[in-house]
Amino acid sequence: MLDLFDSGLALGILMMFATLPGVIFGPFSGVLVDRVNRKKLIIIMDFVRGIIILVLTQLLLLDRLLYLNLLIGTFLMSICSTIFNPAISALISNLVDDENLSKANSLENLSRNLTGILGAALGGLLLGFYGVAGIFFLNGISFLLSAILEIYIQMSVLVDKNK
């Protein structure tokens, strides 16, 4: 943001747009996750996030990226995350038996925290090599790759908690 628009205020507003969907839609996302196929929801959210980032990348490369585009993209990405995160957490309870659920949840939290720390460090390093557009592109591709790999989640291994 500071590179593109040289404004701390613009960055603050962008952060607000990143946080607002969680506040607005967070209370409803659990209900959605419980009513819809979690696997499909996870795949769709990653696919949508990948497309959003790649559209922003294209706009950046064409020198047509507007601040409004970033606000809308950030807001939509945050909505997707607000749905994706509880879907992943809920899916874990379907994939793991009750005896190992505590360990699985701990590993998911550890993974999420490590990803946040290592992702920021790696992002800063890659920014130096590839620039903003390169980082956007890699991020968009990683979401699409994730969506493709999620297609192969074997639902047949799900534990039936109702038995």
Place of tokens 């038996």: 97
User: What pLDDT is recorded for position 136?
Assistant: 93
pTM for the full predicted model: 0.85
User: What pLDDT is recorded for position 155?
Assistant: 65
User: What pLDDT is recorded for position 159?
Assistant: 47
**Residue-by-residue DSSP string for 48-99:** HHHHHHHHHHHHHHTT---HHHHHHHHHHHHHHHHHHHHHHHHHHHHHS-HH
Longest Cα separation, the chain: 58
**Could you say which DSSP state residue 155 is in?**
G
User: What pLDDT is recorded for position 161?
Assistant: 47
CA atoms within 13 A on the CB side of 116: 6
User: What pLDDT is recorded for position 156?
Assistant: 52
Q: What residue ranges do the domains of the chain occupy?
A: 2-153
User: What pLDDT is recorded for position 163?
Assistant: 38
User: What pLDDT is recorded for position 162?
Assistant: 43
User: What pLDDT is recorded for position 87?
Assistant: 93
Q: Does domain 2-153 have CATH number 1.20.1250.20?
A: yes
Give the residues of the chain that fall short of pLDDT 50: 158-159, 161-163
User: What pLDDT is recorded for position 100?
Assistant: 87
User: What pLDDT is recorded for position 22?
Assistant: 93
